[in-house]
Amino acid sequence: MRIAPIGVLYHDNPVILREVAHKSSQITHAHNLGKEGAALQAYAIALATDLVPLVAFDRGDFLAKLINYVPEAVYKEKLSKIKGLLAESGKARVAIELGNGIEAFNSVPAAIYSFLSHPNSFARAVVNAVSLGGDTDTIGAMTGAISGAYLGIESIPNSWEGKLENRLYLKELAEKLWELKMTA
């Protein structure tokens, strides 16, 4: 959940992005699947920051880039299932096929699915993520990070932002991070 700044800062260098994501995540993720999940989440955020919102968003292309990026078979398998799941409406099937647990190989694909299910609506993407059950706070936060990177801070509903603890400080940090990205 803390990986979003890495995706923004290293959006233009996938090799360094992976390296930094692995270093950042090793504090809590001893297994390589956890570290690779952090890198995949950061890369999804990186891709989202480089897209122009609401302009011919290609889910297939987004997924293909993620599949090509991640070396671990379990992630490739789950990402490959997302396109078919997007055509269906059953959330129970999504939880069965992708997982919704605390393990990164379950939560990261679920977050990517949730973003892709509603790429043009921050609120709908996050609500979708939470409705999958399981590790809802993690999946919701990761979905929000991808969606926010794509749609921008103004896409967060005012009613949600108003309830956020330390929101002014967080907004200031987000703006500084974006400025750093734009000048790097």
List pLDDT tens digits, range 117-127.
999 999 999 99
Please give the model's pTM, rounded to 2 decimal places: 0.92
Supply the pLDDT for residue 1: 66
| Average pLDDT value for residue range 64-76 | 96
55: pLDDT strictly greater than 80: no
Burial of 108 (0-12, 13-18, 19+ CB in 10 A): buried
Range of 11's domain?
Answer: 4-183
- Give the chain's end-to-end CA distance (angstroms, integer): 23
Residue 24 neighbours by CB under 8 Å, 6+ apart: 2, 3, 6, 38
List pLDDT tens digits, range 157-167.
888 888 888 88
Supply the pLDDT for residue 125: 97
CATH code of the domain in which 38 resides: 1.10.4080.10
What gap in Å lies between CA 129 and CA 173, rounded to an integer? Answer: 25
Distance of CA 18 to the CA centre of its chain: 15
Q: How many domains does the chain have?
A: 1
Burial of 127 (0-12, 13-18, 19+ CB in 10 A): middle
173: pLDDT strictly greater than 70: yes
The CB density around residue 118, as the number of other CB atoms within 10 Å, is: 17
What gap in Å lies between CA 66 and CA 69, rounded to an integer? Answer: 5
145: pLDDT strictly greater than 80: yes
* CA-closest candidate to residue 37, choices 3, 82, 9: 3
What gap in Å lies between CA 22 and CA 25, rounded to an integer? Answer: 5
* CA-closest candidate to residue 151, choices 174, 180, 128, 122: 122
